[in-house]
Amino acid sequence: METAQLGILAGITISVSFFAMIFGVFYLYKREKMAMIERGMDPRSYKPQSAPYQNLKWGLLLGGSGIGLFLAFILDHLAFNNIIIGDGIFFLYLSLIAIFGGCGLFLSYRIEKKEVLDKDDHTIQK
């Protein structure tokens, strides 16, 4: 295939995919509302559950990823200046971002667990 044909094919594929995504979102939204009506619930009074620790989780994930990225940059320029060549540096960056991002998520889990346990202790003592 030539470049012009690939461009036309990509345009058609993207347009059809976008339409299918929009249609699917609205279809599932309406189906959810119908299921609530069938169960005797009022869809207008339904409020989604809040996630009180969502900002903490995202903050620690992105903060940990930033620390991993910074550490990879420092190691790249100071420790592994001429030792690792090629894709090794790329994998160093990815692995440190994943490790420190995971540490941030683990820290978020520990903080949430501690808060929930403290809340349970306070309700029991009253």
Domain residue ranges in the chain? 3-45, 54-125
Residues 71-98 pLDDT 10s? 988 888 888 776 766 667 888 889 999 9
Write a three-state SS string for 81-124: CCCCCCHHHHHHHHHHHHHHHHHHHHHHHHHHHHHHHHHHHHHH
Confirm if 72 and 92 have CB atoms less than 8 A apart: yes
Using DSSP's 3-state secondary structure scheme, residue 2 falls into: coil
Q: Which has the closest alpha carbon to 61: 95, 109, 94?
A: 109
User: Does the pTM exceed 0.85?
Assistant: no
* CA–CA dist 118, 120 (Å, integer): 5
